[in-house]
């Protein structure tokens, strides 16, 4: 296995231009494919997860131009009708792409269609049963070809009926609701009948649903939301996706978390460009959590700047992370540099991500000397008097773990650290370690 050794770096400062958001990139690719007309996407992320989506769309007959070096791509929309009726789609370990494609194909499949979806071994362990149950409830033809509740799947043409509200659980992954929301207009546009989705239980990761709804509006479909429990997708022409012409992908707010944390830990200032006070992504609220630790944060329209406290160490926090579960992983490492015990709650979704992130983070934080307690949906981190040097951090083929633990090398308390399998960052940020190096 390859590894990367990071030397201690007492000071981090500089400017970072973020790559495009993975969440927005994959949503934009799918919405552009389903729309009428050609859409030019700019700032699109080039990573393993977005290549999975681009490859899948190509196999479905959607024409996409080659992605340029600066992230531009033209997508010729199919107006909700795929020309390919038979396809094997490999989805890697891309959760957003998988859930959205399953819902889309289940509701778009014509009678003779036969689609097969599979991914890496970890994807076969990531649950999709709640989404499949909701789709089957309205007549979708989906079969498991491995373990029930998990990929791989086969999808054929079903008899879709949307007269009754569609129940879907919201407490496991917001990606299930996102997939259903983006796919339903194909049915409601065709039938002229609106569809109602009812969320069962508490909806997690609400900011990601806000991204979905805002992007659907940009492509011409406005969903009516009643609180976070009921969503109405319009019918007829109001449900037809139409190209906006050009769509600019924001910088990745989740990736911003590592560089903002670097500024908070190791002096700063670190200026992160590509997201700002008016960002679409809820993960910009990570900066507010850093401010809770005592970091100095400034927002601009298209940038965020982070610095360490003016005097003294960061201070531990106790916070509900339901709204930013992915970015919250970074806070678990920031806790190594704070006085007191940091407790992060409402993070049960970590258990079903690229790996069991609660267990993985606890294991690797302990290698650095931290005292860590964990529960079904929480983690508590107490830093040691001094971090353990030369820890070899296992990354579990999880990009966010690799990026999080690079921070252990920073600041006055930073130590030499080894990152195993550093190329797992290719999933969302292939040049992460090169960019990280520019801050030292």
DSSP state of 212: H
| 347-to-261, 289, 376 alpha-carbon distances in Å | 19, 15, 8
Using CA atoms, how far apart are residues 304 and 297, in angstroms rounded to an integer? 7
Tokens representing 120 are 């890496």
CA dihedral for 414, 265, 323, 253, sign (positive or negative): negative
Place of tokens 């991500």: 353
- Cβ-based neighbour number of residue 141 at 10 Å: 18
Q: Which residues are catalytic?
A: 326
Distances 284 to 112, 250, 324, 330 between C-alpha atoms, Å = 44, 12, 9, 13
Tokens at 194, concatenated: 């609106």
Residue 337 Cα distances to 45, 313, 364, angstroms: 31, 7, 15
Q: Is 418 helix (H, G, I), strand (E, B) or coil?
A: strand
Q: Which residues of 276-312 are buried (b: 16+ CB within 10 A; e: fewer)?
A: beebbbbbbbbbebbebbbbbbebeeebbbbbbeeee
The CA distance from 275 to 283, in Å, is 10
Residues near 269 by beta carbon (within 8 Å), at least 6 away in sequence: 13, 263, 305, 306, 307
3-class DSSP state of 376 = coil
Report the run of H or E that residue 403 belongs to, with start and end. helix 399-406
């Amino acid at each position: 296995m390859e590894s990367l050794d990071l030397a201690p770096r007492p000071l981090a400062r500089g400017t970072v231009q973020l790559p495009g958001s993975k969440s927005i990139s994959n949503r934009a690719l799918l919405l552009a494919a389903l729309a009428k007309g050609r859409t030019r996407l700019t700032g699109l992320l080039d990573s393993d997860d977005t290549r999975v989506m681009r490859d899948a769309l190509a196999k479905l007959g959607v024409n996409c131009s080659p992605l340029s070096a600066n992230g531009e791509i033209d997508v010729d929309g199919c107006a909700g009708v795929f020309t390919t009726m038979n396809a094997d789609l490999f989805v890697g370990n891309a959760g957003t792409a998988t859930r959205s494609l399953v819902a889309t194909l289940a509701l778009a499949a014509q009678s003779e269609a036969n689609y097969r979806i599979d991914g890496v071994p970890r994807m076969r362990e990531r649950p999709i049963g709640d989404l499949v149950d909701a789709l089957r409830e309205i007549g979708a033809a989906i079969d498991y070809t491995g373990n029930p509740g998990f990929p791989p799947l086969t999808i054929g043409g079903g008899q879709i009926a949307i007269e009754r509200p569609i129940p879907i659980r919201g407490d496991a992954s917001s990606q299930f609701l996102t997939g259903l929301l983006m796919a339903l207009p194909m049915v409601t546009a065709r039938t002229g009948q609106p569809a109602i989705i009812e969320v069962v239980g508490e909806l997690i990761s609400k900011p990601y649903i806000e991204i979905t709804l805002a992007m659907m509006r940009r492509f011409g479909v406005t969903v009516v939301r009643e609180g976070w429990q009921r969503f109405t997708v319009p019918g007829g022409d109001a449900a037809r996706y139409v190209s906006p012409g050009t769509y600019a992908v924001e910088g990745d707010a989740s990736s911003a978390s590592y560089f903002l944390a670097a500024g908070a830990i190791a002096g700063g200032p670190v200026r992160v460009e590509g997201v700002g006070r008016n960002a679409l992504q809820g993960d910009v609220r990570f900066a507010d959590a850093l401010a809770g630790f005592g970091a100095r944060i400034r927002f601009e329209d298209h940038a965020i700047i982070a610095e360490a406290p003016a005097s003294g160490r960061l201070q531990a926090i106790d916070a509900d992370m339901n709204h930013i579960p992915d970015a919250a992983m970074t806070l678990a490492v920031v806790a190594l540099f704070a006085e007191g015990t940091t407790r992060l709650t409402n993070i049960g979704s970590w258990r079903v991500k690229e790996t069991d992130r609660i267990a993985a983070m606890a294991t690797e934080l302990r290698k650095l000397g931290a005292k860590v307690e964990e529960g079904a949906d929480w983690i508590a981190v107490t830093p040691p008097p001094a971090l353990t040097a030369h820890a070899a951090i296992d990354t579990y083929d999880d990009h966010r773990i690799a990026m999080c633990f690079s921070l252990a090398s920073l600041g006055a308390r930073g130590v030499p650290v080894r990152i195993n399998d550093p190329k797992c960052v290719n999933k969302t940020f292939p040049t992460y370690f090169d960019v990280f190096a520019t801050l030292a």
